[in-house]
Amino acid sequence: MNMAPDAARMTFEAIAEKMATAAAYADTGRQFAEIGDARGLAYATRCASAALLEAASLVEEVKPAPRPKPGEAA
């Protein structure tokens, strides 16, 4: 992670927001599944998936560099 602390903090906040959105859609999807609403379930699933994909993309910005394996040059 080679970014300024403020930029990293903002990225983590954006990830938290996307994850909260995904969780909300996942819960809504659960409710649609419980009542047998296939159309609502499909919509909630697509929205949850989109939010997770956005969060995963942002994680790449804050993910630490891989550690060198034993015996590799640093």
DSSP H helices in the chain: 5-35, 38-62
Residue 22 DSSP code: H
Q: Is residue 35 classed exposed, middle or buried when 0-12, 13-18 and 19+ CB atoms within 10 A define those classes?
A: exposed
What pTM was estimated for this model as a whole? 0.80
Query: Domain residues of the chain, as ranges?
Result: 5-62
pLDDT in tens, the chain (74 residues): 567 788 899 999 999 999 999 999 999 999 999 999 999 999 999 999 999 999 999 999 998 888 888 877 65
Distance of CA 13 to the CA centre of its chain: 11
